[in-house]
Structure formats: C-alpha cells, structure tokens
Structure 1
Amino acid sequence: MVLVVVVVVLVVVVVVVVICVVVVVIVFVVFVVVVVLLVLVLVLVVVVLVIVLVFVVGVVFVGVADDEVVVVAVVVVVAVVVGGGVVVVVVVVSSYQGDEDDDDNNNNYINNNSNNDDNNNEDDDDTTTKNNTATRQQQQHQHQQQQQQQQQHP
C-alpha cells in the first residue's frame, strides 16, 4: 500500500516537472520569436530609410530630378517611418497582451500546483499516520509476546 502511494506521488511529481519544463520552453520560444520579429522589422525600417535618404540626398544635393521627386521622396520617408512605428507598436502591444495571458495561466498553474502539493502533503500525512499506527501496533504486539514468554518461562 505504501509502495503504491509512493509511486503515485513520484508520478505526479514527474508529470508536474515535465509540464513546468514544457511551459518554460514555450514561453522562451514565444519570447525569442517576438524579439526576432522586432529586430527584423527594425532592420527593414533602417534599410528602407537608408535607401530613401540616399535617394533624397542624391536628388537634393546633386539636383538629379525635379522638386516633385523631392516631395515624393520626403513623403515616402515619412510614410516608412510612420508605418514602421505602427508595426513596432502593434508587435509590442500584441506581445504584451500575450504576456498578460501567460501570467494568468502561470498563476492558475501555480495555484493548481499548490493545491496538488497540499493534497500530496495530506496524503503523505495520512500515510505517515497509518505507518506510525502500524508500527506502534507491531511494537505493542511484540511487547505482549515477550511478556507472555517471560510468564511462561520464569
């Protein structure tokens, strides 16, 4: 009986540890993906800005094209900056909302684990009490046998 309880407790502990590891890996992977996406967006924005700025500098200082081209280039630069900012804000906000959900899940998970730990402790306490009672009964029985033997063989 005690062996069954020990095996059940060990299985529960192993399952909880595996679930914890899986949750940590998933959170880490999501975090890495969000960071990589942010870096890619920022690199894309910088590359486009450099290309547009080179074009604007070429138009303004070298005088390659009309004033209309300069206006178009400035509009493109502003659009790229604003668009890149919007993309970054959307990614950051969506990742922040994902973190809130993860925190809620983690809190629920921690609460569930606390309940499991409490239950496990109660089971352990019950098992310990049963074991102690059985040990006391065995000791009493052995003591009674010794007394009977002493009475029979003075």
Structure 2
Amino acid sequence: MRALQHLGLDVTGWDPVHFPEGERKSADVVLLTYVLNVIEDLSERRETLLRAWELTKSVLVVSARLRWERNQIQGTEYGDGILTQRHTFQHLYGAGELRDYVQGRQASELCRLLPASCTPSRTTRPVSVTWPVRTHLYRRERRRGCPAE
C-alpha cells in the first residue's frame, strides 16, 4: 500500500496479519496480491476470493506464487502446497491453474498482466493497466537507488 500511496493513489487496505486495523470496503480496483497462495484451507481460499470479488466495482487483480518458484522455497510438501522452514504455507499455482481458479469464480473475461497475475473485470470497457506498470517501475528504480518518477 505504501508504494501505491507514494505514487499518489488513494488506497486503503486490510490484511489480517500485517494491517488488521485497515478497512475492507468496495473499490474500483481491488488487489488480491500474494494472498491466495498463503491460505492453507481450500474453503478459506475460495471464500477470500469471493469476498474480494464482492468488493470489486471494476477490476480485481489476483496474483500468486507460481510452481516455477519451487526451487526458491525450502520446506516440505504439505497438503496442496509447501510448509516452509519459516512455518508458513505456500500453494504454488500453475499459470493456467491460477487463471482457471479465478475465472471459475467470476462471470467475466480475464486479462493476464503477467504470468503470476490475472484480472477479472466487471466491465466491458477497456481498463487502464498503467498503475501496475508504474508500481513495477517504482520498485525497480527504488531497488537501484534511483528516485521514482
């Protein structure tokens, strides 16, 4: 959220661990970034996606860790994922699996922004995807020690 606020966007958010005092409210764009992959319980995973969709007025951005990242995670197989050495759960999605999982819950077409993300939309009008690109550029420049645009 801080990165998006730094870009001048009006954002609010909620996370049960990192931002429990935040407010869950409807918005034009709802981000569900790297959330589904850390939920061990299948019904809770499904409910989280459905709740995010209910809050979405226009576009829901869903991203998750992918299977090709398996060699970067130390841990043991557990349920449909991995229990990491840090005692966190990670479900690694296939790119098609994430798309199908999100598409199966929404009555809309998906737009794939990156391999690890997809965006169901409630509208048929074109949706600007400038803000994820700006956020990515901001993070890349910040890592290099350069000021953001």
TM-score normalized by the length of structure 1: 0.20
- The structure with the greater share of residues assigned to helix is 1
Structure of higher CA gyration radius: 1
